[in-house]
Homo-oligomer: A and B are copies of this chain.
């Protein structure tokens, strides 16, 4: 079949709602402020409502045409603020899709298909600053902030029982590790967190399709999935499908790390079809424009690329402005040197020219661009460790201190900022990363890649890193960049992306539970209750991946009757601990407690004669 057919078929697969799930919306203070939730209907009549990243794709009522893009969510809000102007925009250039597009005919087709995705861009009116941080600092609660508050709270009603348990028993309280998590997130709280830089809402004014979300230590821990084409494999259709697939499984953000052909056109497709914030590493595209020769990069080319991508609607830029000339030699003794692509490009540039990084020198110029579009900084950790033995070294922390310094410059411009972190860090060295980041970066959100706790698990690095991710998430990291099973080995395919996301949903949720986010544990409790009640279907449907759970159950007990059976496949019908527990509970109700207390009253050592048969 030809490529578009294949794409259509794939996409149709991923529009199905999750089992027993309905996409609903919580309406805010204005009718156009509608926050999605996924309501899961349980077989006992209860309803569990969960955070939903999947966008309109899982709404059967939504009409989706990837060649026209998603409907606008924020257009009216942006317009209503009256501080932006639509303009002609930067003319598209031949180099935007890379210097070596081997198949001009195919590119022409792709561009034509994406023609309906072209938008005249918005920018701040002269002298205006359109960042959420700017509004927050002026005391304005934007619709984006209200949206975030409603989204973080979700529907609280169904959690009441679980929250009562937590309130009653100190044992069930979390340990926030220094975070300040309120019981209810108010729009004002969101504003305050954004104003002080402790949270960001990545939301470029040219990405009105985005459903606003927050990244910050006092909100739920978020995850990011990377997608991207490549010089070696992949196609645009696959990349958009990866986006839809990634947000279906729970990616809160997606980074487009394309480095190959058709890079500009790919981005049009992704941004226009994305309900989640899109991040990029602009230096990758800039490098394509100079034929892959790092030393040929210039500020002019980089600046032009920033504007190109800001106009398209990219929500945050990874910028490795902390890779300073003076730090490069600190990596020379490392086991694996510089492993960040952006970091190594900038290191090479600095070395070739024997000059300070143009990103560092032009940092304020970059801020001037960011604030015209509300692009957030993701200050890249170009000197992050690439293996356990390079963790927490002088190079890494020298850069981190610089990122703290740059954070304050960004904040001077009211540009939203988060800080990228490692990487490869053994468990006992993780806390030091978080402590140092909080201190030197003034509580700007931390966004880490794992970290991987060991190096010997190629093929399973999603697990080796989920351990570190869960721990650092608990300690205060706001967003976790996923790692797939293909890390270090190859490009992730559809299933790898899913595996990486599920591993990171586990890590993020484990962190939320440990921090004691209000209601975080409620879904666990609902699932455990279903497990205890032998409501198999509810158990599947409340999990992160209902289909796989059901499939695993079916492999052992395929019959429908087993879905309501009061036993499970581990023990069989005769021998089931949960069944026995139910009987124990009935015994207990019949006065067992009194018997037991009577027993304990005698010191618990009462001699009981052994029966003849035993």
Contact = CB atoms under 8 A, between A and B. Distances in A.
Interface of A: 162, 165, 171-172, 174-175, 230-233, 259-260, 284, 287, 292, 294, 297-301, 324-326, 328-329, 331-332, 335-341, 343-345, 347-348, 351, 354-356, 358, 361, 386-389, 391-393, 424, 426-429, 453-460, 462-464, 466-467, 470-471, 474, 485-486, 488-491, 493, 502-503, 505-507, 509-511, 513-516, 521, 523-525, 527-529, 531-532, 539-540, 542-545, 548-549, 551-553, 555-557, 568-578, 580-585, 587-589, 592-593, 595-596, 599-600, 604, 606, 608, 610-611, 613-614
B514 A426 contact: yes
Contacts of A568: 488-490
B574 A231 contact: yes
A593 B460 contact: no
B581 A467 contact: no
A587 B337 CA distance: 13
Contacts of A343: 577
Contacts of A600: 326
A513 B467 CA distance: 13
A356 B387 CA distance: 54
A518 to B, nearest CB: 15
Contact of A300 (B491, B525, B614): B614
B459 A596 contact: no
B577 A464 contact: no
A393 B324 CA distance: 52
B486 A552 contact: yes
Nearest to A553: B489
A277 B524 CA distance: 35
B613 A298 contact: yes
A553 to B, nearest CB: 5
Given A328-B584, A581-B344, A298 B614 contact: yes
A301 B510 CA distance: 43
Nearest to A485: B552
Contacts of A172: 389
12 contacts: A174-B426, A232-B556, A232-B557, A338-B580, A344-B580, A344-B581, A358-B610, A455-B528, A456-B523, A463-B466, A489-B568, A491-B569
A523 B542 CA distance: 40
A387 B459 CA distance: 30
Contact of A570 (B175, B490, B614): B490
A503 B549 CA distance: 18
Nearest to A388: B524
Contacts of A595: 354
B332 A584 contact: yes
A610 to B, nearest CB: 6
B575 A287 contact: yes
B338 A556 contact: no
Given A329-B588, A489-B569, A513 B388 contact: yes
Contacts of A391: 171
A356 B614 CA distance: 13
Given A162-B389, A392-B171, A427-B471, A460 B545 contact: yes
B387 A531 contact: yes
Contacts of A337: 532, 578, 581-582, 584-585
A529 B544 CA distance: 36
Contacts of A388: 513, 521, 524-525, 528
A509 B454 contact: yes
A588 B453 contact: no
A341 B571 contact: yes
Nearest to A601: B326
A613 B462 CA distance: 43
A544 B460 contact: yes
A572 B577 CA distance: 54
Given A575-B341, A611-B298, A509 B456 contact: yes
A412 to B, nearest CB: 17
Contact of A231 (B298, B428, B456, B573): B573
A527 B455 contact: yes
A4 B467 CA distance: 41
B569 A335 contact: no
A462 B503 CA distance: 10
A574 B292 contact: yes
Given A326-B604, A569-B490, A614-B358, A336 B532 contact: yes
Given A294-B580, A387-B524, 18 more contacts: A171-B391, A175-B428, A230-B570, A298-B611, A298-B614, A299-B614, A300-B614, A326-B596, A331-B581, A336-B528, A337-B584, A351-B592, A456-B544, A467-B470, A467-B510, A488-B570, A490-B569, A491-B569
Contacts of A503: 460, 463
Contact of A427 (B393, B463, B511, B587): B511
A348 B584 CA distance: 6
Nearest to A484: B552
A577 B435 CA distance: 28
B580 A347 contact: yes
A175 B432 CA distance: 12
A550 B74 CA distance: 46
A373 B515 CA distance: 48
Contacts of A610: 299, 358, 361
Contact of A577 (B344, B454, B521): B344
Contact of A356 (B576, B592, B608): B608
Q: Which of A175, A387, A462, A545 has the most CB of B within 10 A?
A: A387
Contact of A524 (B389, B532, B582, B584): B389
B572 A232 contact: yes
A324 B599 CA distance: 11
Contacts of A471: 427, 467, 471
